[in-house]
């Protein structure tokens, strides 16, 4: 039996990446650099039962209005990439089960860099180290047929943002309605203005309740996007808790790179659900 070599499998992963599996733990899942804080670290932990090899690459991605990301080979108006302003090390590594590795990221922005928010993404790709090894002679088919074993490449992307200058942002929450094609999903419309992205949690608090009954964490609106439809699946018990009630929906900042904004309500809307 023959297997795809590791390099060929990596090419396949770039063409059609699959979601990262639980075997790879990465923290943090978002990096923000500034002229004052020009370096940061990612911690990778192999939570799986197999030794795994990892490769790291930098790429430019664009956010769509529904929050999905797509490749961005060239910048659009108002879009600033950070790929030529970042260094990172190591670029490949092997982790045994339970082992961890620190990946260092550094901004190399030149003096006089124009104010703004520059963003690129680090892609971490993994595969078991057994990928690319040939089977022992005689263990494969004996009828001269060719057998190929596909080895899944798991990947995850981490946004790396470089901010320079005095930047600001504001958000409005324009609407909240059940999705036309999915009664178990709510679509919250957010509109952003300003010169930096926003990052925070969307929470749902029924009238009279002291605490939210549902929180969606890590909702970002990247520059230059001005709007995002946040699609929120609602489990049956949450739909039951919200049905027929007036509900306050809050978008609250959790952007640790802007400490003054953490905990600040960026946008809010009260609606009958």
Q: What is the pLDDT of residues 220-258, one digit of tens each?
A: 999 999 999 999 999 999 999 998 999 999 999 999 988
Residues 98 and 231 in one domain: no
Query: Is the Cα torsion angle 2, 20, 104, 109 positive or negative in sign?
Result: positive
Residues 141 and 27 in one domain: yes
CB 38 within 8 A of CB 107: yes
- pLDDT for 136 equals 44
CATH at 151: 2.60.40.10
Domain tally, the chain: 2
Residues 181 and 64 in one domain: no
Mean pLDDT, range 84-91, rounded to an integer: 96
- pLDDT for 19 equals 37
Reported as half-sphere exposure (CB side, CA atoms, 13 A), residue 126 has a value of 25
Residues 154 and 201 in one domain: no
pLDDT at 149 over 70: no
CA distance 4 to 170: 49
Q: What is the pLDDT of residues 113-140, one digit of tens each?
A: 899 999 999 999 887 676 555 444 445 5
> Considering only CA atoms, which of 108, 5, 96, 88 is closest in space to residue 47?
96
- pLDDT for 1 equals 38
Share of the chain above pLDDT 90, in %: 67
What pTM, to 2 d.p., does this model score?
0.81
CA distance 153 to 273: 41
Residue at a domain's end among 164, 196, 227: 164
Residues 197 and 145 in one domain: no
* Token pair in block for residue 138: 């005689």
CA distance 253 to 196: 13
Residue at a domain's end among 132, 164, 196: 164
Residues 6+ apart with CB under 8 A from 242: 204, 206, 213, 214, 234, 273
- Cβ atoms within 10 Å, residue 251: 24
Residues 102 and 204 in one domain: no
Q: What is the pLDDT of residues 161-220, one digit of tens each?
A: 999 999 999 999 999 998 888 889 999 999 999 999 999 999 999 999 999 999 999 999
> Considering only CA atoms, which of 194, 211, 163, 187 is closest in space to residue 33?
163
- pLDDT for 4 equals 36
The strand pairing partners of 227, in sequence order, are 191
Residues 195 and 179 in one domain: yes
> Considering only CA atoms, which of 217, 133, 151, 185 is closest in space to residue 18?
151
Residues 30 and 150 in one domain: yes
Name the strands in the sheet holding 52-59, side by side, starting at the edge strand that comes first in the sequence. Answer: 31-33, 154-164, 116-128, 52-59, 92-95
Residues 152 and 175 in one domain: no
Question: Is the peptide bond prior to 224 cis by the omega test (within 30 degrees of 0)?
Answer: yes
Residues 10 and 122 in one domain: yes
Range of the domain at 81: 2-164
Residues 62 and 38 in one domain: yes
Residues 184 and 106 in one domain: no
Residue at a domain's end among 164, 188, 211: 164
């Amino acid at each position: 039996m023959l297997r795809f070599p590791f390099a060929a499998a990596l090419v396949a992963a770039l063409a059609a990446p699959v979601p990262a599996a639980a075997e790879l733990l990465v923290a943090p899942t978002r990096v923000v650099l500034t002229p004052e804080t020009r370096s940061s670290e990612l911690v990778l932990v192999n939570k799986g039962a197999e030794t795994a090899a990892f490769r790291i690459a930098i790429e430019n991605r664009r956010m769509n209005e529904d929050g999905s990301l797509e490749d961005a080979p060239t910048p659009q108006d108002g879009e600033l990439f950070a790929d030529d302003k970042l260094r990172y090390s190591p670029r490949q590594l092997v982790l045994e089960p339970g082992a961890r590795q620190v990946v260092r990221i550094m901004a190399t922005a030149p003096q006089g860099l124009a104010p703004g928010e520059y963003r690129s993404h680090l892609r971490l790709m993994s595969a078991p180290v057994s990928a690319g090894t040939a089977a022992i002679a005689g263990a494969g088919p004996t009828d001269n047929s060719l057998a190929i074993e596909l080895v899944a490449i798991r990947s995850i992307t981490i946004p790396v943002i470089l901010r320079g200058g005095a930047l600001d942002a504001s958000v409005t929450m324009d609407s909240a309605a059940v999705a036309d094609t999915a009664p178990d999903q709510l679509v919250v419309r957010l509109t952003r203005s300003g010169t930096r992205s926003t990052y925070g949690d969307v929470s749902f608090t029924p009238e009279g309740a002291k605490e939210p009954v549902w929180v969606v964490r890590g909702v970002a609106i990247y520059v230059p996007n001005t709007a995002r439809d946040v699609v929120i699946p609602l489990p049956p018990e949450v739909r039951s808790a919200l049905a027929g009630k007036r509900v306050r929906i809050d978008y609250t900042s959790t952007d640790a790179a802007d400490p003054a904004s953490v905990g600040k309500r960026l946008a809010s809307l009260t609606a009958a659900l």
